[in-house]
Chains A and B, each alone.
Chain A
Amino acid sequence: MSQSNANDLTWYRIGPVSDIPPLGSRVVQHQGVRIAIFRAHGDAIFAVRDQCPHKEGPLSQGIVHGQRVTCPLHGWVIELASGEAVKPDVGCTPRYPTRVDDEGVISLGVPALPPELTPVDDVVHDLADDA
């Protein structure tokens, strides 16, 4: 596990893309927070808090289609790139930036402070835009 600092983010190498089944998801636990890592259509990698904005359902357990996931509890559809619920539902789950290196290993960027201690939506969203 290598770490590097940039803009108050800590980057973790979390494993190869092949550790996640195609159109699947796995969870990374970070200081008590579950982060869902998705391998979406075209092997696009996304990371969002494993918590549906509706009733906190575990998004990592949902069916992945295109670049979206359907929450297993009540069927909300979340856009993985933005963390936003697909209309007409309204809500957003925090995103985390990810990178995939030449060897196909995923790195996950998490804020230096645990997300629940920071104005999480602002920070994480701004940072995710750099990714």
Chain B
Amino acid sequence: MTRSVPSTPETKPRLVLIGNGMAGMRTLEELLKLAPDMYEITVFGDEPYGNYNRIMLSPMLSGEQTLPEIMLNDEDWYAERDITLRKGERVERIDRLRREVLTQDGDRLPYDRVLIATGSRPFIPPIPGADQDGVLGFRTVADVEAMVEASDGDDRRAVVIGGGLLGLEAAAGLAAHGMHVTVLHRNGHIMDQQLDTAAGRMLERTLRERGIDVRVNANTRRIEGNGRVTGVELDDGERLPADLVVMATGIRPNIDVAEASKLYCERGIVVDDTLLTYDPKIYAVGECAQHRGDTYGLVAPLFEQAKVCANHLAHYGIAKYGGSMVSTKLKVTGVDVYSAGKIAAGDDETEEEMVFADAARGVYKKLVLRDDRVEGAVLYGDTLDGSWYFQLMREGTNISDMREHLLFGQAHVGDSGHGATARIASLPDDAEICGCNGVCKGDIVRAINENKIFTLDEVRAHTKASASCGSCTGMVEDLMASTLGGDYSAAPSKKPVCECTDHSHDEVREAIYRQELHDIPAVFAALDWRTDNGCAKCRPALNYYLLCAWPDTYQDDPQSRFINERVHANIQKDGTYSVIPRIWGGVTTPNQLKSIAEVAERFEVPTVKITGGQRIDLLGVQKEQLPAMWKDLNDAGFVSGHAYGKSLRTVKTCVGREWCRFGTQDSTGLGIQLEKITWGSWMPHKFKIAVSGCPRNCAEATIKDFGVVCVDSGYELHVGGNGGMKVRPTEFLCKVDTEAEVIDFTTAFIQLYREEARYLERTAPWIERVGLSYVKRRLLEDPSGRETLSERFANSQRFAQRDPWADQVAAEDDHEYEPMMVLS
């Protein structure tokens, strides 16, 4: 292993990973997913173990976890993948001229690529006496083991220097071992990087109530002892006895190897957006890397870097890392603290603060705003909305429309489904979090700990929590944050469509228009899809985007449609289907009812049900029966109700002026007109309209995607409502005078939603994301723009308004409905 052998086509290129920690290993895992056999891989790690979950050191200290439980990659993992793990070996430097890695023992290992992931090390300030036994950092398994050992015995005392995230977690862990703990913090309040004074004070009070002595403005003069620590002396002369001193005064990127190799470093190893250092053969990820001037000490950004770096190591060459926004949460059981971004407004008056304080409940919330956008959040006591504020921050959402409710949380901006739930940390283990799949808090915490998972998608895959309707996502995220602590970040700053690609929905859509991509294979090719033919997530989305972009030419791909849209009926739990004919505006006739009754009898339909959308549902139909049933319904004058589609569903109406003594306009007639104009249109998600004849609103128009409430002087238009899993009333768009204007606004609004919302995003979250002001700008302030939206909708409808039932009957597509063969 001491000779330098250039790699030849017959031998695989050699990749050397320096640093066996979470960032480097995550990069390897991502790389193996993309290109399992590309490199011959060697990993150097100076700790005597495989890769462990460093963020679980706090639970390990408090005794909630053990070393085997926090191992991420044990030694078998390396062996199974033919990766050479050289544990306990330290790399001295990289000989970049000869392309060899030099170990401390003088061994030389040739390479084709190097990945540096040496992480960081505790910063130990130059305090006299800091070099004695019993003075520790809080960074490694060895530190934790030494801390546990020092806590053994009665009446043991510990001093933690540094009241930041790490110091407080150490203090809480040591207190859990029965030690008397004092935290010394040099600034005016603890966690001053993340919290403002008010929240810092509340946290100090809570910790004191738990028996942890917190001293602020406390400077350490020296650490006393004679080779073994005995105490700490403060600047003011006070002396604190101590059996253990933990230095939690920050971390510094560990750039020893890089500097010894003469790689360009500043605070960290300087890398570009592909995580490449100044040497084109050497990458760096994790806490040791400095990207656009920032270094990161939390797990979420490291994982984003790992993904990008692996993409380049695998020669895909398309991913870019644009930096991360980070949020932190204190990982101390029962203490809810959350912080993200700026913690206070600057002095230049362009920023402002919004503050909510309720001392009796122990709740404090502060948002820092600039130009109606969230720049930072500090939450104490009630952190449920942390992930929501973080999302508003990341997406740069304009919050002017929700200002008055913003501090009360997402629940007050619409979501009254699960939003009102109390503080997550105080819930018992058997509290149900996910009502769809019956997942309790304890299940989720166990899954996170046992399976070593970090992301929402992983929690969904393992527990199914929030994987169905998604309304408990905020709670699951909050629970993840309180379990994983400061290292959890809600989601990567850019969310790819699915695992087949790194591109976001918006990027894919833009590429379809800009590069004029006209079918799914073209999108796969142009955007370097990683899979041959996508997956069940991306294909339906792409099919919709293409259909929306090229209504006149795109050839719909049935195999990229969910079964319901492919066979124009709703699949039921037993594999049968439900059939719902369209009943315009919910108005029917005795003859129509007779026809439906005859069809139901002829096909022996087991259940006939009146739906919430004012129509009739025939349930329990065998797939083979569908074409024959449609034919009979067609013959009786019915078309498909699209009750199965991401499309216009129903237009619900009340009886209106014709009968109702309160009715102000012809709501029934208007509803039927709207349904005739909009039926058959495909949308990002389902879309419901209602027209009520007076403000009593019997058609429940204010919980629909588009609601019309007739008043004596005209028509009020409301948008973005939802009566499903997240009840959200509509927001008022405008008032118009005539039915023609109602139709104009309806079609323009639908087309704006069709063109700009992401696939499977309903109008309510879409409007929350882009802001009602934006919708108003497009529809109210730009009449000619509104007109072209309506025109585009009308053009699309020329091709979309075909009854799919009649089409399917005419096509005699027996491959879809008939068995291929019946064997005896």
A75–B533 CB distance below 8 A: no
A91 within 8 A of B: no
Q: What is the CB-to-nearest-CB distance from A74 to chain B, in angstroms, rounded to a whole number?
A: 8
B575 within 8 A of A: yes
Give chain A's interface residues, CB within 8 Å of chain B.
1, 12, 14-15, 19-24, 26-31, 37, 41-42, 55-58, 61-66, 68, 70, 72-75, 77, 88-89, 110
B534: chain A residues at CB < 8 Å are 65
A28–B819 CB distance below 8 A: yes
A70: chain B residues at CB < 8 Å are 535-536
A63–B540 CB distance below 8 A: yes
A24–B558 CA distance with the chains assembled, in angstroms: 9
B535: chain A residues at CB < 8 Å are 63, 65-66, 68, 70
B563–A72 CB distance below 8 A: yes
A65–B819 CB distance below 8 A: no
B533–A58 CB distance below 8 A: no
A24–B824 CA distance with the chains assembled, in angstroms: 24
Of the residues A1, A73, A75, contact of B571 by C-beta under 8 Å:
A73
B562 within 8 A of A: yes
B531 within 8 A of A: yes
A63–B559 CB distance below 8 A: yes
A61–B571 CB distance below 8 A: yes
B563–A61 CB distance below 8 A: yes
A12–B822 CA distance with the chains assembled, in angstroms: 11
Q: A65-B536, A70-B536 are in contact. Are A58 and B575 (CB under 8 A)?
A: yes
B571–A14 CB distance below 8 A: no
A31–B571 CB distance below 8 A: no
Q: What is the CB-to-nearest-CB distance from B625 to chain A, in angstroms, rounded to a whole number?
A: 15
Contact with A along B232-258 (1 / 0, CB 8 A): 000000000000000000000000000
B539 within 8 A of A: yes
Residue of B nearest to A10 (CB): B823
A63: chain B residues at CB < 8 Å are 535-536, 539-540, 559-563
B4 within 8 A of A: no
Identify 7 new A-B residue pairs, CB closer than 8 A, beyond the known A37-B820, A110-B823.
Answer: A1-B823, A24-B815, A31-B824, A58-B571, A65-B539, A68-B535, A72-B564
A14–B821 CB distance below 8 A: yes
Of the residues B468, B819, B823, contact of A12 by C-beta under 8 Å:
B823
B532–A55 CB distance below 8 A: no
8 A-B pairs whose Cβ atoms sit less than 8 Å apart in the complex: A20-B820, A21-B815, A23-B559, A26-B819, A27-B819, A62-B536, A63-B535, A63-B559
Of the residues A21, A42, A55, A58, contact of B559 by C-beta under 8 Å:
A21
Residue of B nearest to A65 (CB): B535
B558: chain A residues at CB < 8 Å are 21
Of the residues A12, A42, A61, A89, contact of B575 by C-beta under 8 Å:
A61
Q: Which residues from 510 to 557 on chain B have a C-beta closer than 8 Å to any C-beta of chain A? A: 531-536, 539-540
A65–B820 CB distance below 8 A: no
B573: chain A residues at CB < 8 Å are 55, 73
B156 within 8 A of A: no
B222 within 8 A of A: no
B504: chain A residues at CB < 8 Å are none
Q: A28-B820, A31-B823, A61-B563 are in contact. Are A88 and B462 (CB under 8 A)?
A: yes
B824–A20 CB distance below 8 A: no
B461 within 8 A of A: yes
Q: Which residues from 435 to 452 on chain B have a C-beta closer than 8 Å to any C-beta of chain A? A: 451
The winner among B531, B533, B558, B564 for most chain A CB atoms within 10 A is: B533
A55–B822 CA distance with the chains assembled, in angstroms: 24
A66–B532 CB distance below 8 A: yes
A22: chain B residues at CB < 8 Å are 559
Give chain B's interface residues, CB within 8 Å of chain A.
451, 461-462, 467-468, 531-536, 539-540, 558-564, 567, 571, 573, 575, 815, 819-824
A31–B821 CA distance with the chains assembled, in angstroms: 12
A-B contact count (CB 8 A): 90
A14: chain B residues at CB < 8 Å are 820-821
Residue of B nearest to A110 (CB): B823
A80–B562 CA distance with the chains assembled, in angstroms: 19
A41–B815 CB distance below 8 A: no
B532–A41 CB distance below 8 A: yes
A57–B564 CA distance with the chains assembled, in angstroms: 14
A89–B458 CA distance with the chains assembled, in angstroms: 12
Residue of A nearest to B572 (CB): A73
Q: What is the CB-to-nearest-CB distance from A99 to chain B, in angstroms, rounded to a whole number?
A: 15
Q: What is the CB-to-nearest-CB distance from B321 to chain A, in angstroms, rounded to a whole number?
A: 28
A31–B823 CA distance with the chains assembled, in angstroms: 7
Q: What is the CB-to-nearest-CB distance from B741 to chain A, in angstroms, rounded to a whole number?
A: 41
A76–B510 CA distance with the chains assembled, in angstroms: 30
Q: A28-B820, A28-B821, A29-B822 are in contact. Are A19 and B533 (CB under 8 A)?
A: no
Q: What is the CB-to-nearest-CB distance from B6 to chain A, in angstroms, rounded to a whole number?
A: 37
Q: What is the CB-to-nearest-CB distance from B12 to chain A, in angstroms, rounded to a whole number?
A: 26
B575: chain A residues at CB < 8 Å are 56-58, 61
A1: chain B residues at CB < 8 Å are 821, 823
Q: What is the CB-to-nearest-CB distance from B821 to chain A, in angstroms, rounded to a whole number?
A: 5
A66–B534 CA distance with the chains assembled, in angstroms: 7
Residue of A nearest to B623 (CB): A61
B461–A72 CB distance below 8 A: no
B560: chain A residues at CB < 8 Å are 63
A29: chain B residues at CB < 8 Å are 819, 821-823
Q: What is the CB-to-nearest-CB distance from B556 to chain A, in angstroms, rounded to a whole number?
A: 13
A56–B573 CA distance with the chains assembled, in angstroms: 9
A31–B539 CA distance with the chains assembled, in angstroms: 35
Residue of A nearest to B538 (CB): A65
B815: chain A residues at CB < 8 Å are 19-21, 24, 26
A29–B462 CA distance with the chains assembled, in angstroms: 34
Residue of B nearest to A71 (CB): B536
Of the residues A15, A62, A66, contact of B821 by C-beta under 8 Å:
A15
A65–B821 CB distance below 8 A: no
Q: A58-B575, A88-B451 are in contact. Are A41 and B533 (CB under 8 A)?
A: yes
The winner among B535, B539, B559, B822 for most chain A CB atoms within 10 A is: B559
A75–B820 CB distance below 8 A: no
A56: chain B residues at CB < 8 Å are 575
The 6 closest A-B pairs by CB, nearest first: A70-B536, A26-B820, A63-B536, A58-B575, A61-B563, A30-B823
Residue of B nearest to A34 (CB): B819
A19–B536 CB distance below 8 A: no
B533: chain A residues at CB < 8 Å are 23, 41, 65-66
A74–B540 CA distance with the chains assembled, in angstroms: 16
A27–B536 CB distance below 8 A: no
Q: What is the CB-to-nearest-CB distance from B813 to chain A, in angstroms, rounded to a whole number?
A: 9
A62–B462 CB distance below 8 A: no
A15: chain B residues at CB < 8 Å are 820-821
A55: chain B residues at CB < 8 Å are 573
Q: A41-B532, A70-B536 are in contact. Are A62 and B563 (CB under 8 A)?
A: yes
A15–B815 CA distance with the chains assembled, in angstroms: 12
The winner among A42, A61, A68, A110 for most chain B CB atoms within 10 A is: A61
B822–A66 CB distance below 8 A: no
